Structure 1
Amino acid sequence: MTDNATPHDSAAAPVDAPPAPFAPPAAPPAAPPAAPPAAPPAEGAGENPWAAPGEGFVPFLAPPSPEELAARRTRRRKAALRWSAAALICVLAGTGAAVAVTTPDRTDIPGLATRTDGRYTFPALVLPPLPSGQAAPVENKSRHAADLRHLLLPAPKEAGGSLTPVVFPTPTPTPTPSATATASGSPSGSPSGSPAPTASSTASGSPTASPSGAAPAAGVPAADWVPCDAMAAEQKEPVVLRSLLLRNVCRAATVREWTASDGTRSQIRLLRFGSSVEAWDVFAELRADGAPKDLPGLRPASVQGWDSVRGVDIATRESPVITGQGRTTGYLAYLSAGDIIGVVTMTNARGVEGPAFRQVVTLQSDLLA
């Protein structure tokens, strides 16, 4: 055997083929070109699926017709008129409600009325005119020249008084007064020339002649001239008060009384003297020892918190509280204003309202200040 291969062996042995060259992956097939968008069909060339049967196609952006524009304007005008009418009705209703609530008094509106504290309704206070050449009083240093009756507080509405402001007659010049005492214990004359009440007075206590020389004008509340010692009969010790009035030469006196709808009886007396010194002497005695018979057990009452009236001194008294509502049955006040002394009395068996007493005293002080 030899090591050389035979041709048969070489021909029969397989021969390795060379590797095939690298080929890239084939690209995907291209998509077919998109078809161009179809043009919108011509008018009348098709049917609108949203149109009513029998209607042709209407372009979506077609401009409104003149009839439609006119209809829109009409609808807008009607809507504006409706809203304007609604707004006007609301304004009128609100205005009417405001007027209905604010025009009447609060106490006349149901649900808003508050319980009264007893105060009265007085007309607007008016100071009486002064005689020609006379000056107004200055605190406690001068005398009052006005008619004493016109310085009285008028009756309130609750006692049948009028709410019309008082109209006073024009004062007339009068002669100088004298200081002669009358038989009744009242000195005659007054600082303004008013004749003092004498024993010739009528049964009602009014003098036969008008102090101002003329009859009171219409609208002036009725007030009586009375003797200076008329209030002495109301005191527990009338002799003491009569002597006091004679010693200090009381010139004139007047009084006003009323009974309110709540049953409270009010009385206001004014007494005129020749000077503030004489008037103060009487005021001091009354403040210390005054004792009306109809008001037993009087005790000092506080005036703390009251509106102060310049030129007027006030001393108040009250009866003990005996009513079931905790109110006193009587109040008394003495006022001193220059040459005039005032005495305010308010009584009621069912109790007197404290605010009403304070109101009457303050308003009367305003007229004397």
Structure 2
Amino acid sequence: MTDSTDSTAVPDAPVVGDVPSVPPVPAVAPAAGAPTEDERAARGSLRRKAALRWGAAAVVCALAGTGSALAVTAQDRTDLPGLATKSDGRYTFPALVLPALPSGKAAPKDNKNRHAADLRQLLLPVPKEAGGSLTPTTQPAPLSVTGGGTPSASASPTTSASPSPSASATTTNASPAPGAAAGPGDCDAFVAEQADQAEARALLLQYACRTAVVREWTASDGTRTQIRLLSFGSSGEAFSAFAGLRDGKGPKDVPTVGEAAPTGWDEVYGITLATRTATPQEAPPVRVAYLAAGDLVGVVTLSNPKGVPAAAFRQVVTLQSDLLA
């Protein structure tokens, strides 16, 4: 009988107790170029150090950017190198404050009644560019007219703080300190500055110029500014004097002065304005403005042999108008 069992059958695996033994698996050699455990640990350490360095750099950049932004925003743009706008001639004035009125006196309404405030307080203060102070100032001594050539001279009202620390009570014929508000005036000092003194004197006598104050300064750009306020008995007399001065020959020692109606200027309610500009028109050495404000007439004169900046002239005239309105 033939045995059907395959003679090549696998022999029985050796048995150890009841558990068959498993032959050991040979160790697999690492692939060529694969990192070892030490190499992987070293690389992880490098990554952590790089992350720390980049994090520290980001923090430093954020702090530097924040500091730079604070430094830039804390200053005025005009104070930063490379960002300052070229000056067009305008000045830096202290904050304008209307003077206090004497007890029982009211402010002018529509500039129809008289200004009761101290005339010196109605003068534009001195700008920073001329050595002016931007801090509050003390009260000046009261005005008292000492007489001086006009038959109708009378005492000017008193009180209030001076817009300039250098304000002092002197006659207009004296040479005031830079920026000083000179007063009381006899109106003769103004007449002496006019090209046609006889006409100017007759005009001020006809309409009874009562007193006058003046403020003068010279800015760092060489522009000399003079502001005169002439006081009259009524708004009608003041306007008639204003019209005569506006149509007159203007200041002496000035090249041909022609009318130049201001265009694009902000109108100040209650103020009548007329301007005149000396030739050449491109760079006029003198600019003059006449203001009518109730019982007051203002004459603003800016002069500079190199030419008076139009922006400075407009600024001074507008701010002086604001104080009179």
Q: Name the TM-score, length of structure 1 as normaliser.
A: 0.67
Matched, 1:46 2:5: no
1:238-280 superposed Cα distances (whole Å, 9 cap, x missing partner) = 1222222222222221001111111111100001111111111
Alpha-carbon contact 2:237-2:295 (below 8 Å) kept: yes
Q: Which residue of 2 aligns with 1:204?
A: 174
Question: Which AA in structure 2 matches 1:254?
Answer: V
Contact 2:172 2:214 in 1 (8 A): no
> Residue 169 in 1 paired to residue 139 in 2?
yes
- Structure 1 match to 2:315: 359
Partner of 2:280: 321
Q: Distance in 2 between matches of 1:203 and 1:289?
A: 22
Note the 1:123-134 alignment, pairs <5 A: 123-134=94-105
Q: Report the counterpart of residue 274 of structure 1 in structure 2.
A: 233
Q: Provide the rounded CA distance (Å) in 1 between the counterparts of 2:302 and 2:22.
A: 108
Of the three residues 101, 106, 117, the one matched with 2:77 is 106
User: 2:262 maps to what in 1?
Assistant: 303
Which residue in 2 is equivalent to 1:157?
128
What is the rounded CA distance, in whole Å, between the counterparts of 1:287 and 1:343 in structure 2? 10
Q: CA deviation at 1:98?
A: 1.4
Q: Aligned pair 1:187/2:152, yes or no?
A: yes
- CA distance, structure 2, for counterparts of residue 202 and residue 155 of structure 1: 17
Larger radius of gyration: 1
Q: Look up the equivalent residue of 1:128 and give its one-letter code.
A: P
Shift of 1:83: 5.8
Q: Per the alignment, in what secondary structure is the counterpart of residue 230 of structure 2?
A: strand
Deviation, 1:126, is 1.4
Aligned to 2:295: 339
What's the counterpart of residue 167 of structure 2? none
Instruction: Kindly state the Cα deviation for residue 123 of structure 1 after the two structures are TM-superposed.
Output: 1.3
1:224 aligned to 2:204?
Answer: no
Q: Is the 8 A contact 2:186 2:210 kept in 1?
A: no
Q: Please name the residue that 2:8 is paired with.
A: none
> Deviations for 1:187-223, whole angstroms, at most 9, x for unmatched residues?
33246269xxxxx9596278xxxxxxxxxxxxxx631
Contact 2:148 2:186 in 1 (8 A): no
- Shift of residue 170 of structure 1? 8.9
The aligned counterpart of 1:22 is none
Distance 2:317 2:171 in 1: 29
User: What is the 5 A alignment of 1:73-84?
Assistant: none
Paired residues for 1:211-290 under 5 Å: 222-225=180-183, 226-290=185-249
Q: In 1, distance between residues paired with 2:308 and 2:227?
A: 16
- C-alpha distance in structure 1 between counterparts of 2:321 and 2:149, whole Å: 29
Distance 1:113 1:205 in 2: 37
Moved more, 105-114 or 343-352: 105-114
CA distance change for structure 1 residues 201 and 108 in 2, over 3 Å: closer, same or farther?
A: closer
Q: 1:81: Cα distance to partner? A: 6.0
User: Cα distance 1:308–1:203, how it changes in 2: closer, same or farther (>3 A)?
Assistant: closer
Task: Return 328-337 or 245-254, whichever deviates more.
Answer: 245-254
* Same amino acid, percent of matched pairs: 55
Distance 1:81 1:186, change over 3 A: farther
Where 2:210 maps in the other structure, the secondary structure is strand
Paired residues, number? 284
* Partner Cα separation in structure 2 for residue 98 and residue 136 of structure 1: 47
* Stretches of structure 1 lacking an aligned partner (at least 5 in a row): 1-40, 53-57, 59-67, 195-199, 207-220
How far 1:339 sits from its partner (Å)?
Answer: 0.8
Q: CA deviation at 1:97?
A: 1.7
> TM-score, normalized by length of structure 2?
0.76
Would the alpha carbon gap of residues 170 and 239 (structure 1) be closer, same or farther in structure 2, given more than 3 Å must change?
Answer: closer
What residue in structure 2 maps to residue 91 of structure 1? 62
For the residue of structure 1 that corresponds to 2:115, the secondary structure is coil
1:327–1:351 CA contact under 8 A, matched in 2: yes
Aligned partner of 2:162 in structure 1 is: none
